[in-house]
Amino acid sequence: MKKKLTIGLFGFGVVGQGLYNVLSQTHGVKAEIKRIAIKDKSKTRTLPQELFTTDKTEILNDPSIDIVVELINDHEAAYAIVKEAIEKGKHVVTANKRMLAENLEEFYELQQRYGKSILYEGSVCGSIPIIRNLEEYYDNDLLTSIEGIFNGSTNYILTKVFEEKKSYADALLKAQELGFAETDPALDVEGYDAKFKLVIAIAHTFGVFVKPADVINIGIDKISATDLKYAKENNLSIKLVARAFKQGDKVFAFVAPQFIEAHHPLASIRNEYNAVLVEGAFAEKQTFVGKGAGSYPTGSAVLSDVSALTYGYAYEYKKRAQHEALSFSNDLRVEAVVTFEDQHSVSIKDFETFKSGYAANGKQLLQGILTLAQFKALSERDGVSVLLAANATFSPIAESVPEDLLAS
């Protein structure tokens, strides 16, 4: 039965204000914010000062508060808030992907122990309701893969670089001014943010809890002028793609930039929009598109979780309950394009299988098959840029290399 719930809100930044605004403008959600915990009470705010507190216990120890909504940017402090809230019998809604990704298995166990929900639709791809769909729509589908553009900041930057010929630095600055990228953009541009979201999605796609440290992430910060030239000459774009897929009893996952052909579903995803491609045995391929960054898109996702709690909703982690014996692995071959200037930086010996390459005006490009470990190692060399090839095929190392990968 739908009931009216009382909220204690932690954080009143971009997303917190977005939640307050969407909650005040909708009439379908029976919930109200009683208290807002902030760091600095001296700041001038548009709401009455009595709503705000700097003492977290005023929320956590208040028996009239049913839901703690955690929207702060400190993942360690967020962890402590979420854990204590559950232990004190409160439901939790959060959008903190790093905190969730690093502690998801523990939070799963806490939910089972205390019978309270932790919902986090807003943590993965903003306004796209992907977690709820993985839990409900795809609950009995044999899912084989999930991939897409999971970070709106990098997609905004790449859009400006490709379509408006802006420099990487100018595009990044604009993303920061619009609130899509943080002041310290490393989590976005180096692929960490997308990785945290992918780790959360994997738990609901395959029922496997994966540690973020085990998932390889390569960002867009080393994309070179040669990469851009190669893309334009071959009618390609570049997207930062997060992907996870199942082969046999293994789940493989990583984040990396990739050359994308013009007809690919991700090619048309622009600016701060995200896209998620899900493939299953029964539903086959489906695409979800929506804004992945900004105050209202994330705020609306958080509000959807609050609304779900008025009906007593909880994630059931249905894929995990199906007890399919899957384990995570990085033992994978990938097809990659490597660009560099110093002729001594990379050689064909760095590839398991070399396919093609060229050199012009001091710029060099090599394409071939690498293990995922080699792919990551090359990305860490100075002056070297590594991207997945267009239509790259992936092959577990335990298997033989497919002939189409070996063909030059």
R_g over Cα of the chain: 22
Q: Which of 56, 116, 197, 319 is catalytic?
A: 197
How distant, in Å, are the alpha carbons of 4, 18, 293, 306 from that of 25?
16, 11, 20, 14
Q: Which of 326, 337, 334 is nearest to 397 (CA)?
A: 334
CB 238 within 8 Å of CB 220:
yes
Strands (DSSP E) along 236-349, which ranges? 236-247, 250-261, 273-280, 284-291, 327-328, 332-340
Is 246 considered catalytic here? no
- Residues 56, 70: Cα–Cα separation, whole Å: 11
CB 9 within 8 Å of CB 69:
yes
Q: Which of 124, 112, 171, 167 is nearest to 315 (CA)?
A: 112
Q: Which residues of 282-300 are buried (b: 16+ CB within 10 A; e: fewer)?
A: eeeeeebbbbbbbbbbbbb
Q: What is the dihedral of CA 71, 74, 77, 78, to 10 degrees?
A: 30
- Residues 397, 333: Cα–Cα separation, whole Å: 6
Cβ neighbour number for residue 323 with a 10 Å cutoff? 8
How distant, in Å, are the alpha carbons of 155, 168, 368 from that of 158?
5, 8, 24
Give the residue numbers marked as catalytic: 197
